[in-house]
Amino acid sequence: MQAFTTHDGIVAALDRANVDTDQIIPKQFLKRIERTGFGQFLFNDWRFQEDGTANPAFELNRPEAKGATILLARRNFGCGSSREHAPWALADYGFRVVIAPTFADIFYSNCFSNGILPIRLAEEDVDELFRRAAAAAATAGAYRLTVDLHDCSLTDDQDFSRSFEVEPFRQRCLLEGLDNISLSMQHTDAIAAWEAAHGLAPIANA
The string of DSSP codes covering 16-54 is -SS-BHHHHS-GGGTT-SSSSS-GGGTTHHHHB-TTS-B
The predicted-structure confidence for 147-196, as pLDDT tens digits, reads as follows 999 999 999 999 999 999 999 999 999 999 987 656 655 656 666 677 66
What's the pLDDT score for residue 33? 78
Q: What is the largest CA-CA distance in the chain?
A: 69
What's the pLDDT score for residue 183? 62
The predicted-structure confidence for 6-22, as pLDDT tens digits, reads as follows 999 999 999 999 999 99
In a domain, 192, yes or no: no
In a domain, 189, yes or no: no
The predicted-structure confidence for 103-158, as pLDDT tens digits, reads as follows 999 999 999 999 999 999 999 999 999 999 999 999 989 999 999 999 999 999 99
CA atoms within 13 A on the CB side of 156: 18
In a domain, 187, yes or no: no
Q: What mean pLDDT comes out for the span 39-50?
A: 97
Beta pairing, strands 97-100 & 161-163: unpaired
In a domain, 13, yes or no: yes
Q: Could you say which DSSP state residue 198 is in?
A: T
Separation in Å, CA 184 to CA 34, 51, 164, 197, 203: 21, 46, 28, 19, 13
What's the pLDDT score for residue 206? 41
In a domain, 78, yes or no: yes
Q: CATH no. for residue 19?
A: 3.20.19.10
Q: Specify the pTM.
A: 0.88
Residue 93 has phi, psi (to 5 degrees) of -70, -30
Q: What mean pLDDT comes out for the span 33-59?
A: 95
**Residue 53, domain extent:** 6-179
Looking at residue 149, its amino acid is: L
In a domain, 81, yes or no: yes
- Asked whether residue 205 carries a pLDDT value surpassing 50, the answer given is no
The predicted-structure confidence for 62-89, as pLDDT tens digits, reads as follows 999 999 999 999 999 999 999 999 999 9
What distance lies between CA 45 and its chain's CA centroid? 19
Specify the 3-state DSSP secondary structure of 192.
helix
Other CB atoms within 10 A of residue 57 CB: 9
Cα torsion for 103, 154, 70, 38, to the nearest 10°? Answer: -50
Report whether 12 contacts 46 (CB < 8 A): no
In a domain, 58, yes or no: yes
Please tell me the distance from the alpha carbon of residue 194 to that of residue 203, in angstroms, as a whole number. 11
In a domain, 193, yes or no: no
Give the total number of structural domains in the chain. 1
